[in-house]
Amino acid sequence: MILNTSTVHIHADLIEACKQGDRKAQKRLYELYSRAMFNICSRMLGDRAAAEDALQEAFINAFSKLHTFAGRASFGAWLKRIVVNKCLSHLNKSQINTEPIPPQLAEEAEDQGYVEGELFLSSKKVHEAIKTLPRGCRVVFNLYQLEGYDHQEISQILGVSVSTSKSQLHRAKKLLKIRLRE
C-alpha cells in the first residue's frame, strides 16, 4: 500500500485522536488495519478463532499503549510488532516445537533436488498447505517469508538459535513443496 502525505497526515490525526480517547477514531484506525493484521494472525496461528482472539487482544494492547507510539516507524509497523508478539504469546501457551533438523536430514533434503515444472496453485491451496506445517516450521516460515523478518530477528523473537530458524525454514519449504505437489 502506497501512502501519500495526506494519508499519513490523516493517520497521524487519527492516532492523536485515539491517544485522547476518541472512540470513533479508534474504530476508524481498527477498520484501516484490522484486515491486514487479521491475515497475519491467521497465517501464524492457523486457526480462525485463535486469530480473532489474538487480533482483539493485540488491538486492546495497542490502544492501551498508544501513548508509547513515538512515530519513529510507521504505525502499521508498530502495530504489526504487537500483533506478531500476541500471536507468539498464543503459540507459546502450547509450546512451539522448533527442534533443529539433524544435519544428515538437512543434507539429504538438499541432495534430493527436483525438476521445476509449471505448477499453477491458488492462494487458497498455498494457505491451506501452510496451515498443515508443524507449528515451529509454520511460525518461522510466516515470519521469514510473509512478514519479512530475517533469521537474526526470528531467533530473538522465538528465543532459538539462528541455525534453528534456518533449519525450520528449510524444513517448511521442503514440506510445502511435497504438499503442493500432491
How much of the chain, in percent, has pLDDT values that exceed 90? 36
Give the pLDDT of residue 121. Answer: 63
Contact 94, 140 (CB under 8 A): no
Q: 102-153: per-residue pLDDT in tens?
A: 454 444 444 433 334 444 567 778 878 888 888 889 889 988 988 888 898 8
Span 39-48, average pLDDT:
88
Q: 123-136: per-residue pLDDT in tens?
A: 778 878 888 888 88
What gap in Å lies between CA 139 and CA 136, rounded to an integer? 5
C-alpha atoms less than 13 angstroms from C-alpha of 26 in its C-beta half-sphere = 15
Q: 59-91: per-residue pLDDT in tens?
A: 999 999 999 988 888 899 899 999 998 998 888
Give the pLDDT of residue 125. Answer: 80
Grid coordinates given for 46? 492457523
Asked whether the predicted pLDDT for residue 37 surpasses 50, the reply is yes
Give the pLDDT of residue 88. Answer: 86
Contact 14, 28 (CB under 8 A): yes
Give the pLDDT of residue 34. Answer: 95
